[in-house]
Amino acid sequence: MTTESAVTTCFRHPKVESHVRCTRCDRYICPSCMREAAVGHQCVECVQEGARSVRQARTAFGGRISTVPLVTYVLIGLNVLAYLAEMARPSVEDRFDMLGTVPAGYYPEGVAHGEWYRLLTGAFLHLTPAEGTFGIAHILMNMLALWNVGRVVEAQLGRVRYLALYLLSALGGSVLVLLIAPETPTVGASGAIFGLGAAYYVMGRRLGYDMRAVNQYMGGLLLWLVLSAWVTSWQGHLGGLLAGGVVTLAYAYAPRDGRRVLIQAGACVALLVLLLVLTWVKVADLTGGAAA
């Protein structure tokens, strides 16, 4: 009496004979399906499942760790593209700068007349050389600041939180311009960058940075805030600084448990709602006054 020896084959390739088992699921695997593991070999499916189950490293603020400041690159690129568009067609600035309203007797335009997009588009525009000696320096200084501080903040917050911080800071700057100086056309990323500066300060306090360097940076930022009263828009700078500080405080001091994401997102949404309500109230006041 004779017995035939059982032939084992790869579970993914039934025609390929195999004598090696996956150390995780115990199924037979052929050489093309083997993946080296800490002990023995694993199949492709088990390796993929293991990768999904591994908890990704997070920063102190809950963001995913990334070595590439992608959002900072994109923001700089958008600012540069907008600047090139301004150079090619100067009317772009007049069409998209931050403007609340115009004096009585002029063609109605601005946020008060339905152009709410100006609250954000103005933050991606800058003065051009045709508008004075400060023209090219305006975008160069802002992009240099965005590059230096943005990379640090993005690395700590992660891309989603960082983008929310940037946009809310830009919006905060525009809203304060609308509230205080609605007839003043305003352009520049400075409001958002002041928000990043506030974030850098709050993060430094939270993480125990060498505060001498942080305080020196903040001192320069506050000095520029004062000088901007004669040069650019101090309202936009102050609005961005306040908005960025509020958002980062929520990021930094939210409890590190399952509620953290909800609290951080809730703070961003609450600030957004507040800014939109303030805009609506001011618009109603401006249009009501014009109608009178």
Per-residue pLDDT of the chain (292 residues; tens, 9 = 90+): 444 457 888 888 888 888 888 888 888 888 888 888 766 788 888 888 776 655 566 788 888 878 899 999 999 999 999 999 999 998 999 999 999 998 877 888 999 999 999 999 999 999 888 776 667 888 998 999 899 899 999 999 999 999 999 999 999 999 999 999 999 999 999 999 999 999 998 988 888 777 777 777 777 777 777 776 666 788 999 999 999 999 999 999 998 888 999 999 999 999 999 999 999 999 999 988 543 3
Q: Where exactly are the structural domains of the chain?
A: 7-48, 70-291
> How far is residue 290's CA from residue 88's CA, in Å, rounded to a whole number?
35
Q: What local confidence, expressed as pLDDT, does residue 233 receive?
A: 80
* 174 contacts 122 by C-beta, under 8 angstroms: yes
Sequence-separated contacts (24+) of 75-78 with Cβ below 8 Å: 75/146, 75/150, 75/166, 75/189, 76/143, 76/146, 76/147, 78/124
Q: What local confidence, expressed as pLDDT, does residue 280 receive?
A: 96
pTM here is: 0.79
Q: What local confidence, expressed as pLDDT, does residue 292 receive?
A: 34
- What DSSP string runs through 22-54? -TTT--EE-GGG-EE-SSSEE-HHHHHHHHHHS
Q: Residue 133 is which amino acid? A: T
CATH 1.20.1540.10, domain 70-291, yes or no? yes
